Amino acid sequence: MPEDGIDLKARDDIMRFQEMEHLLGLFLDLGVTKVRITGGEPFVRKGLPEFLIKINQYEKLESINLTTNAYFTEDAVQLFQKIKMDSINISLDSLNREVFYKITRRDDFEKVWSNIKKFLLTDLTVKLNMVVIKGINDNEIVDFAELAKNSKVEIRFIEQMPFNGGHFSNDILSAEEIILILQNAYPSMMEFFKMSSTARIFEIPGFKGRLGIIAGHSRTFCSTCSRLRLTPEGILKICLYDHGSVNLKDMLRSGRSDQEIKTAIKDAVSKRAKDGFESEQRTLQKIHFSKNKLSMAQIGG
């Protein structure tokens, strides 16, 4: 969360649930089978549980996933167990109350941790996402890994990406450096091969859970990436690093037909950059990333 917060959107600028549902139907027709609800934070939106229950009935939708900061999830466990929730990704960047406050601008570590523990006690697939920030929380890498010793959780260490409200420094801890720290702490750690994963997965003998490393900045997994992102404003992003191709909400509201919207989606996908670096280059031609105030608190990951 940037120090000066983020610009809040007017209600009318963001998609209504009916619009999201409509667009989801079109994406399913085009072959999408998996959806992840991100945000910002999905649970700030009233009506989210009803929306999840509704889309859970779509036969073509094989898996529903969600990324949350676990702030408002006290009552979510039962809901997630009721629907075909594939996995819950929880963003947690520190196990230390002061550092948590520094990163999130909220003194709510205890509340979030208590909510996370509720998930860990269930049979739901839980992934804890820690963005590794050099000099801020990199001394907690092994503390996080230890959480996978007695719990079936997947701890995912994510390279910092340039989406923190315009204060990004290229002096990041790379995925390779993170792996080295873990290998030093756990010499018996072994890589577990899984095709098409955006994370490199490692197992440690005796640990119930696993460790994942996501090279979000080095972008070593673009060749297996088939993700599309739809921002709350309805903008279709073909890559995390692009600045959006077409506004599908505006197309819907201006009465464009389903066929026209599907054509626009296919057209945007056909112009996909070969990887995240090319996407970034294209974006840099339009704006300068260092002046980009966009934050993960808005993109949602």
Tell the burial category of 194 from Cβ atoms under 10 Å away from its Cβ (0-12, 13-18, 19+).
exposed
Q: Is 279 in the site for ligand SF4 (CB under 6 A)?
A: yes
Residue with tokens 């990199």: 138
Torsion of CA 259, 264, 268, 269, to 10 degrees: 0
Q: Is 278 in the site for ligand SF4 (CB under 6 A)?
A: no
Q: Is 201 in the site for ligand SF4 (CB under 6 A)?
A: no
Footprint of ligand SF4 on 146-175 (CB under 6 A)? none
End-to-end C-alpha distance for the chain, whole angstroms: 13
Q: Is 127 in the site for ligand SF4 (CB under 6 A)?
A: no
Specify the residue, 158 or 264, whose C-beta has the smaller distance to ligand SF4: 158
Q: Is 239 in the site for ligand SF4 (CB under 6 A)?
A: yes
Residue 299 phi/psi, 5° resolution? -70, -40
Q: Min. distance of Cβ 97 from ligand SF4 in angstroms?
A: 32
Specify the residue, 89 or 279, whose C-beta has the smaller distance to ligand SF4: 279
Q: Is 269 in the site for ligand SF4 (CB under 6 A)?
A: no
Per-residue x/- track, 203-232, ligand SF4 (CB under 6 A): ----------------x-xx--x-x-----
Which residue has the closest beta carbon to ligand SF4? 276
Q: How many residues bind ligand SF4 (CB under 6 A)?
A: 11
Q: With CA atoms as reference, report the closest residue to 153 among 136, 181, 130.
A: 130
Q: With CA atoms as reference, report the closest residue to 244 among 182, 299, 164, 190.
A: 299
Q: Is 116 in the site for ligand SF4 (CB under 6 A)?
A: no
Residue 98 gets the label, from left (phi > 0), alpha (psi -120 to 50) or beta, of: alpha
Measured CA to CA, the distance from residue 231 to residue 234 in angstroms comes to: 5
Please, which residues bridge with residue 65 across strands? 36, 87
Record the tokens describing residue 114, joined without a space: 């208590």
Specify the residue, 149 or 227, whose C-beta has the smaller distance to ligand SF4: 227
Specify the residue, 223 or 254, whose C-beta has the smaller distance to ligand SF4: 223
Specify the residue, 109 or 221, whose C-beta has the smaller distance to ligand SF4: 221
Q: Is 243 in the site for ligand SF4 (CB under 6 A)?
A: no
Q: Min. distance of Cβ 21 from ligand SF4 in angstroms?
A: 24
Q: Is 27 in the site for ligand SF4 (CB under 6 A)?
A: no
**55 within 8 A of 61, measured Cβ to Cβ:** yes
Measured CA to CA, the distance from residue 197 to residue 203 in angstroms comes to: 15
Can you tell me which of 35, 145, 153, 240 binds ligand SF4, judged by CB under 6 A?
A: 240
**154 within 8 A of 148, measured Cβ to Cβ:** yes
The contact set with ligand SF4 (CB under 6 A) reads 219, 221-222, 225, 227, 239-241, 275-276, 279
